[in-house]
Amino acid sequence: ASAFSSKPGSDEPYFLGPADGVSSIGYRSSWWTQFYCILWRSWLSVLKDPMLVKVRLLQTAMVAMLIGSIYFGQVLDQDGVMNINGSLFLFLTNMTFQNVFAVINVFSAELPVFLREKRSRLYRVDTYFLGKTIAELPLFIAVPFVFTSITYPMIGLKAGITHY
């Protein structure tokens, strides 16, 4: 039996249909109001946990130092170019997985609240996604910036702000 086929009022905790007594037509507020409220709530959630931000930045700095020390001072011969390609691959995978795991961690913790509020038609999925993403955007920019600022000069990639 699927969660999508269960009946309203059943014991399924994550039933995706409308809540009892709530109309399935329309939302309780406009798109902009929904977006603003979710953005504000998400921003407060990010600010409420400064230790998490510090841990993510420290973790990023440590991994960057490790990768930078592995690929330290590459020369531009055939082996060096292959090593630089490998380091760029590690750049991309590390930054991608850090952000993906951060999103998965936050969303899985908020899933019951999200489903309850979505079922009550308090907000749409797109406003939730955009609000959460924009609230966490400074961190999504800061973490790769810290990582690249450490590893880029250690590896010996082309110097200069225009190449960074």
Domain boundaries, the chain: 29-155
Query: What pLDDT, on a 0 to 100 scale, did the predictor assign at position 107?
Result: 84
72 three-class SS: coil
Evaluate if residue 13 carries a pLDDT over 80.
no
* pLDDT confidence bin for 137, thresholds 50/70/90: very high
Query: What pLDDT, on a 0 to 100 scale, did the predictor assign at position 164?
Result: 65
Give dist(CA 18, CA 116) in Å, integer. 9
90 torsion bin: left (phi>0), alpha (psi -120 to 50), beta (else): alpha
With 0.75 as the threshold, say if the pTM is over it.
Answer: no
Evaluate if residue 46 carries a pLDDT over 90.
no
Angle, CA of 131, 137 and 51, to the nearest 5°: 105
- Token pair, residue 141, equals 């920019």
Average pLDDT taken over every residue of the chain: 83
For 80-131, write each residue's pLDDT tens digit: 889 999 999 998 998 899 888 888 888 888 899 999 988 888 889 999 999 9
Angle, CA of 51, 57 and 60, to the nearest 5°: 140
Query: What pLDDT, on a 0 to 100 scale, did the predictor assign at position 146?
Result: 93
Percentage of residues of the chain with pLDDT beyond 90: 40
